[in-house]
Amino acid sequence: MADLVRRTDFANSLVHLTRERKELNKATFCQNIVATAFDVLKEILISGTVRGGLGFVKGSKPVVCLSEIPLASMDKFASQTAGGKERYRFYGVALSKQAVFGAGGRPVIYLPDNEASWIPSEQKWRQVKFEPPHVDWTHEREWRVPGDLDLTKVPGIYVIVWGAHEAREILNLKCPVETLIRGALPMEHLNMML
């Protein structure tokens, strides 16, 4: 087996981060938060599954999106609360690349749409539009898993939360993956040390 790459700009793990779930209030035509990012994380752990979605995905195959962002750079990628420019919050799961690869996950292919005709239709889920300077998602260092990601089939996970009180709650959570949780990482404390 090859040695793991050890660099500050590179991660040997992948993270799936959550954000608030919003629904359109038909009376006011405003988006209302119906579940916090922490609630969404707990739903994932209680179900044991990260559900695939179709947002920004080419083709009709739902995918689970993950990022190769190092934990030390996560403050550029996520925020503690809604309202910031970041799309994600400091809540999610971290898995080894090997586990994600074994589940069918692959790095996305960044290229212009007009250069993607060689990608077979059943693999279109892997392509992300890249047309700098206007369309550039490469900072996400994205990987995708087709369909749902069954967390009960991976060798272990770390759970990312904001505070220590949430870490304690996760470690006491009764769920199908409780024996697979290797630890809960409170990002509030990690961010202060980085």
Segment 19-35, tens digit of pLDDT: 888 777 777 777 777 88
Under DSSP, is residue 47 helix (H, G, I), strand (E, B) or coil? Answer: helix
Q: Which residues pair with 23 in a beta bridge?
A: 32
Q: What predicted TM-score, i.e. pTM, was given to this entire model? A: 0.88
Q: Nearest-CA neighbor of 66 among 88, 45, 82?
A: 88
pLDDT of res. 162: 94
> Residue 52 is which amino acid?
G
For residue 70, being part of any structural domain is answered with: yes
**Residue 7 falls within a domain, yes or no?**
no
Alpha-helical runs (H) found in the chain = 37-47, 97-102, 164-171, 187-193
pLDDT in tens, 132-179: 999 988 888 999 999 999 999 999 999 999 999 999 999 999 999 999
Q: Domains in the chain: how many in total?
A: 1
Residue 5 in domain: no
Structural domain that includes position 43: 13-193
Q: Do 158 and 181 contact (CB within 8 A), yes or no?
A: yes
Identify whether 27 is part of a domain: yes
